[in-house]
Amino acid sequence: MFWRLVFQLLRGSRGRLAVAIIAIVSGAAVISALLNLDLGVQNKLTQEFRSLGANIVISPVSGAPAQISGAEVPSLMPEKDVVGVLQQLPSAQLAAAAPYLYIVARAQNIPVVVAGTWLDQSQKLDATWKVEGNWIASRDDNSRCLVGRNVARRLHLAVGNALELHYLDRSAHYSVAGIVDAGGTDDNQIFANLRAVQALANLPEQIGLAQVSVAGTAQVVADYAARLAAALPQYQVRPIRQVAEAEGALLGRIRLLIVSMVLLILILTALCVLGTMAALAMERRKDVGLMKSLGGSISRIVGIFLAEVGVLGAAGGLLGTILGAALSYWMGLRVFDTAIAPRWEVFPATIALMIVVTLTGALPLRMLGNVKPAEILRGE
């Protein structure tokens, strides 16, 4: 009988309740979309910031350059020390890592900077690179190299051309696999696999630094850097704070904006429901007076009206959450060029919020308990 009365009230006030249900569905849709965006934005931002390159650098302690084979080279460190530690740490947060050895060689009697690295990791560490030609996907490919666009212009090189590098009394022959357009200092360098550059410089198993890209927030990057520093106390481990802090600051601002918008939408939805329920309370004074004259208790009567509002909030919240999932999917495509999958925990959270908001907006219905049956029966 209780629920029959509830549904009869819903059917009998469809005009008034239509305004409230539209407000609830609209509010739930936007809140659901924002909550999905908030839960998915960290991974999307992390992917975007990883395109900026490494966020941790491992290098030797600054000191005087060493004299090796008659040439002056910067301080170096054994490759196995760094690689061994990277392999021991958890790999879940490690997006990419590569050691680097830099030398100044000569090509066509012009000095050029040659970087030896793991070229199969370059595409992950330097996602913004545009390569005309082909990437080098194997660390064992020691016969090909990538050439920065400025170097290619100076040396008149194109994809497929032969390139000869000289370093002291040694030389190496390469084929140009691709021309790199990095939009920075990398355009002035030649990139070859680490083993080939180590052989050219006669520095086996030696590297100048290592770059690490860690996926996660600024705190995750800092924690990972601290673990690297503890495992490699003889070297400098420096997070690139501009990248890590910018990522953390942007994520914080986005979340503050989302929380502020959610609170504003909840308040506006509650005010809309409040106005609708105030008008509805005036219409139902006669129904309440009749119920009380027939012996209905105040708690029972108010409970019927609050149940009506709760059903309204739950139905509007469910419909709005479904629409919000589609909205967050569209927002992800427009902002990040990739869809944000709906999070199932958002469904109960949004529905619960809408029920609370509608019950808060139903305060005028509680005033119906003050209706006096005698006044209603007299037509006052």
- Where in the sequence is the domain holding 346, given as residue range(s)? 2-47+248-377
Task: Name the DSSP class of 197.
Answer: H
Task: Name the DSSP class of 62.
Answer: P
Task: Name the DSSP class of 91.
Answer: S
Candidates 192, 186, 96; CA nearest to 136 is 192
Q: Each residue of 91-129: b (16+ CB within 10 Å) or e?
A: eeebbbbbbbbbbebebeeeebbbbbbbbbbbebbbbeb
Do 337 and 213 have their domain in common?
no
Q: Is residue 136 within 8 Å of 120, Cβ to Cβ? A: yes
Q: Tell me: the pLDDT tens digits for 100-116? A: 999 999 999 999 999 99
Last residue of a domain, one of 205, 239, 273: 239
Do 119 and 196 have their domain in common?
yes
- Mean of pLDDT values over 57-83: 70
What was the pLDDT predicted at 281? 63
What was the pLDDT predicted at 346? 85
Q: Tell me: the pLDDT tens digits for 277-322? A: 767 666 666 666 666 665 556 666 666 667 777 777 888 888 888 8
- Beta pairing partners, 144: 175
- Mean of pLDDT values over 114-126: 88
Last residue of a domain, one of 186, 212, 239: 239
- Euclidean distance between CA atoms 149 and 178, whole angstroms: 9
Q: Tell me: the pLDDT tens digits for 160-175? A: 999 999 998 899 999 9
Q: Is the sign of the CA dihedral 330, 336, 341, 343 positive or negative?
A: negative
User: Where would I find the beta strands (DSSP E) of the chain?
Assistant: 56-60, 66-68, 71-73, 77-78, 94-107, 110-117, 130-133, 144-148, 162-167, 170-181, 189-193, 206-207, 209-214, 235-239
pTM of the model: 0.59
Q: 205 or 333: whose pLDDT is higher?
A: 205
Last residue of a domain, one of 217, 239, 261: 239
pLDDT at 212 over 80: yes
Count of CA atoms in the C-beta half-sphere (13 A) of 171: 9
- Mean of pLDDT values over 111-139: 89
Using CB atoms within 10 Å of the CB of residue 344, give its burial: 0 to 12 exposed, 13 to 18 middle, 19+ buried: exposed
- Euclidean distance between CA atoms 23 and 16, whole angstroms: 12
Q: How confident is the model at residue 183 (pLDDT cuts 50, 70, 90)?
A: confident
Do 99 and 231 have their domain in common?
yes
Q: Is residue 266 within 8 Å of 353, Cβ to Cβ? A: yes
Using CB atoms within 10 Å of the CB of residue 307, give its burial: 0 to 12 exposed, 13 to 18 middle, 19+ buried: middle
CATH classification of the domain holding 145: 2.40.40.20
Alpha helix stretches (DSSP H) within 149-240: 149-155, 194-201, 218-231
Into how many domains does the chain fold?
2
**What's the mean pLDDT when you consider all of the chain?**
79
Do 230 and 286 have their domain in common?
no
Do 72 and 189 have their domain in common?
yes
Amino acid present at 335: V
Do 277 and 224 have their domain in common?
no
DSSP assignment string, 241-261 = HHHHHHHHHHHHHHHHHHHHH
Do 216 and 70 have their domain in common?
yes
Do 76 and 177 have their domain in common?
yes
Do 280 and 353 have their domain in common?
yes
What was the pLDDT predicted at 164? 94
What was the pLDDT predicted at 13? 59
Do 62 and 121 have their domain in common?
yes
Do 213 and 100 have their domain in common?
yes
pLDDT at 260 over 90: no
SS3 call for 182: coil
Do 97 and 166 have their domain in common?
yes
DSSP assignment string, 225-244 = HHHHHHH-TTEEEEE-HHHH
